[in-house]
Chains A and B, each alone.
Chain A
């Protein structure tokens, strides 16, 4: 059965040249401690010095003080502490729920950006400190896809260069960057941060000369002291296509080359990701609808706190009760398990 996205549709086609007029969206991701927030601050001030100010969006609901001037801030529409209290959530759950709430309104955000898009060349997005809350969640996906369907979008993955000197940590970061690239299907730039403390030369060496990296791993006496051939192949393929640069969010060095990498990424977007846009838009619409159906009921109704708390407890109690009763009787377990 042919899906809608396969039929040529002049209205829905987004031409490559059209995307040149649109601002480039930079989604900044990084693990806790990578210096992501300082990086975003530096990026915003760099861009405003170099060209027009960028349009900035903060998606971190738990940050206490936003270090950069945000045009749109998730904290304006979602109060993190209140969410924790109202839905009886711990810090993780509250971040996810806050993002969920915001994602249901994200079309409005796109609308706001589109109104002003002539005024700026870049959109800078700061994501939650807890990286999985964004990179691996449904709300993060909806938000990322909405942006990618409207603007050339590049992911900048910030790495703590100092920690990455440990070959295991380096490997982990590369694998994580790869998994983000596959999840989002967007061009990715690796920004090795904190180069004021430690140069990222070793990283470039490891990416160019694979044997050097394996030597470093060996001397570390780690579990993977010899990378399998297939693992080596994976990484080498990845490095060939990877845009990376060294920066210091503290001192500001390296941001020229970062911008170059971002521009390369935007070009990649136009050449490789854009043709797939129609299909992605169709999928995004379907996902958004499903996401909204799931979440909007919860949030739009003016349920009392006790009601919400009771419902959540009821649902989890039901699941647990089902599990308990499932295993109550050994004989039925024996029967079900032994074929």
Chain B
């Protein structure tokens, strides 16, 4: 009987840290002695850090962005969608190659452009075909830049993007809030990390911003320019209803829950792997190496889901005597 193959596919906008994340996964799996293969489906991936012999398939074997752009006179975006469409057309070749890689854990590095998950269906079709026909279980990992935490509306914008990716690929995703460790270099955030990650917290944040806005507008109204007396609303107040309905979404869709991540701390990598394994059922597949079995993934998930946000808050986000952003 054919055994199931497991893996994860990773998407993320350019600059989100997607490829570095994949490299970190590679290091982790090497350390715990889990056999893996890297599959690069991002034709625009520059300077890939992966070890050559670990790359099981590279889309550049089939088609390169440069060739496409030149031959068809396309810009980088048009070229990218063309590459995806071409890959879809050659799906049989793709599936055969994947199958030939055996049962190793697959790590797919996918391109991050949003069009590929919204207006175009090639990538979604490819992944869906693979998972439906090929006895392949993949977890979806979406890397986003933690810089969105510096601003409530930027954060909401990011939540919407996460929703969009999830809907586009038609599957639940683990949304990784990356580069939290880099926020140590920023002024103190207005709100605690924990507040961003659940509905009640997010509602609290929105309410605070509304109140702050009211205060600002009142002050303006008292100033020299009395045109502002008639202006009762700012952005937060005008979109009050919209804001709170978006806050509700976080709880309604577990697919939009964000997992905070610190690349420099191994616990966080273990956490994501544990979550991915749970999502795919790898944890029941009886394939953990002797080493990896010693890691208590269930406990890690339990611990981290409670402690991760506070842990990061203390490590990077709490500051003394700093100006608030």
* Residues of A in contact with B (beta carbons under 8 Å apart): 1, 3, 5-6, 8, 10, 13, 15-17, 31-34, 62-64, 88-93, 95-96, 129-133, 136-137, 160, 163, 168-169, 171-173, 175-176, 178-180, 182-183, 185, 222-224, 228-231, 233-234, 237-238, 241, 271-276, 278-279, 313, 316, 319-320, 322-324, 326-330, 333-334, 336-339
Contact = CB atoms under 8 A, between A and B. Distances in A.
Interface string B1-42: 000000000000111000010011001101111000000000
B89 interface: no
A31 B227 contact: no
B239 interface: yes
A131 B79 CA distance: 14
Given A176-B118, A182-B157, 19 more contacts: A10-B224, A13-B223, A16-B231, A91-B79, A92-B44, A131-B115, A160-B119, A180-B157, A224-B170, A228-B249, A230-B249, A231-B252, A274-B231, A275-B231, A320-B23, A322-B264, A323-B24, A336-B266, A337-B266
Nearest to B237: A272
Given A8-B219, A13-B224, A327 B27 contact: yes
B167 A175 contact: yes
A79 B72 CA distance: 21
B114 A13 contact: no
Interface string B281-293: 0000000000100
Contact of A223 (B73, B170, B299): B170
Contacts of A129: 75-78
Contacts of A330: 31-33, 291
Interface residues of B, number: 87
Given A13-B223, A168-B167, A338-B296, A234 B245 contact: yes
A172 B216 contact: no
A328 B27 CA distance: 8
Given A62-B75, A228-B252, A230-B252, A93 B46 contact: yes
B156 A182 contact: yes
B59 interface: no
Given A231-B252, A233-B245, A319-B20, A326 B164 contact: no
A90 B77 contact: no
B71 to A, nearest CB: 14
B107 to A, nearest CB: 14
B171 interface: yes
A230 B163 CA distance: 13
Contacts of B223: 8, 10, 13
Interface string B144-176: 000000000110111011011001101100000
23 contacts: A6-B215, A13-B224, A15-B225, A34-B119, A129-B78, A132-B113, A132-B114, A133-B14, A176-B114, A178-B160, A179-B164, A182-B157, A185-B153, A185-B235, A224-B167, A224-B170, A272-B234, A316-B47, A323-B23, A326-B264, A337-B300, A338-B294, A338-B295
A96 B76 CA distance: 12
A31 B114 contact: yes
B114 A337 contact: no
Contacts of B27: 323-324, 326-327
B196 interface: no
A300 B308 CA distance: 41
B179 to A, nearest CB: 12
Given A172-B167, A179-B160, A233-B245, A337 B267 contact: yes
> From DSSP, what is the main secondary structure of chain A's interface residues?
helix
B312 interface: no
A327 B266 contact: yes
B168 A32 contact: no
Interface string B242-274: 100110110011000000000111110010000
B13 A182 contact: no
A334 B294 contact: yes
Contacts of B248: 230, 233
B143 interface: no
Interface string B216-235: 11011011110110010111
B200 interface: no
B108 interface: no
B65 interface: yes
B198 to A, nearest CB: 14
B45 interface: yes
A148 to B, nearest CB: 12
Contacts of B252: 228-231
B316 to A, nearest CB: 17
A10 B225 CA distance: 8
B263 to A, nearest CB: 7
Given A129-B78, A175-B167, A223-B171, A272 B233 contact: yes
Contact of A179 (B14, B65, B157, B323): B157
